[in-house]
Amino acid sequence: MRYEIRLSGEGGQGIILAGIILAESVIQDGRNVVQTQVYGPESRGGATKAEVIISDEEIDYPKAGRIDLLLALTQEACDKYWEDLKNTGTLIVDSAEVVAVPSGGFATYRLPILETAREKVGREVVANIVALGTVTAVSGVVSREAIERAVLARVPKGTEEQNVKALTAGFELAAVHVNR
């Protein structure tokens, strides 16, 4: 089964890094994975997306077209990237940034991702890792051990503790809101 994840936000939020970490965690779990990205002519600012395709079979077409899970951290990214979301899919948005949430058959979770990064972890730059926690928890597509190992392998030295805290916060956020 092919499972398509699209992570989106604005340039500088670490969306592409989150995509890379997610893809590396998939390899740890022994499945096939392809990660691609789209960004504007500049590497900062503007809507950005990273896509992760997960499959047990060979992955031919590397881009996402029928999204199983979409994460949107900004309104612009949500507006731009939601249309490929399957009716049976899942939408996770930042509850403060994304006010106009598209409607459809998909399940929608409004989560205070940026606020959690800011308030609970202490730095907004780890919002991408909080988001990864929510994505992993909601989709169950990779194991918690795999994502944690992948996060630790990628983040700068000295920030490991903070990033694990961010990941945990993401898992907790998902647990609270998804069970409600």
Partner 1 sequence: MQGTVRLMQGNQACAHAAIAAGCTFFAGYPITPSSEIAEELARLLPRMGGKFIQMEDEIAAMAACIGASIGGHKVLTATSGPGFSLKQENLGFAVYTEIPCVVVNVMRGGPSTGLPTSPAQGDVMQARWGTHGDHPMVVLAPASVREIYDLTIQAFNLSELCRTPVILLYDEVIGHMREKTEVPDPSQFKIIDRKQSTSSPDAYLPYKGDEDDVPAFVRFGEGYRYHITGLAHDERGFPTQNPRVVEAKQRRLHRKVEQRREEIVAHEAFLLDDAEIAIFAYGVTARSARAAIRTARKEGIRVGLFRPISLWPFPDLELEKLAGQVKAIVVAEMNLGQLIYEVDRVVHGQTRIVAYQKASGEPVHPEEILTAVREHR
Output 40 or 122, the one with its CB closest to partner 1.
Answer: 40
Among 7, 10, 17, 62, residue whose Cα is nearest residue 36: 62
Question: What separation in angstroms does the CA of 100 have from each of 41, 42, 84, 96, 103?
Answer: 27, 26, 17, 10, 9
Shortest Å distance, C-beta 30 to partner 1? 9
Residues in the interface with partner 1 (CB under 8 A) total: 21
The correct pick among 60, 87, 156, 180 for binding partner 1 (CB under 8 A) is 60
Chain positions 81 to 100 lying near partner 1, rule: CB under 8 A, are none
- DSSP symbol at 116: I
Output 12 or 65, the one with its CB closest to partner 1.
Answer: 65
Distance CA 121, CA 148 (A): 16
Question: x/- string (CB under 8 A) for partner 1, residues 13-52?
Answer: -------x--xx-xx----xxxxxxxxxx-----------
Shortest Å distance, C-beta 147 to partner 1? 13
DSSP string, 18-31: HHHHHHHHHHHTT-
Q: What is the CA radius of gyration of the chain?
A: 15
Contact residues toward partner 1 (CB under 8 A) are: 20, 23-24, 26-27, 32-41, 59-63, 65
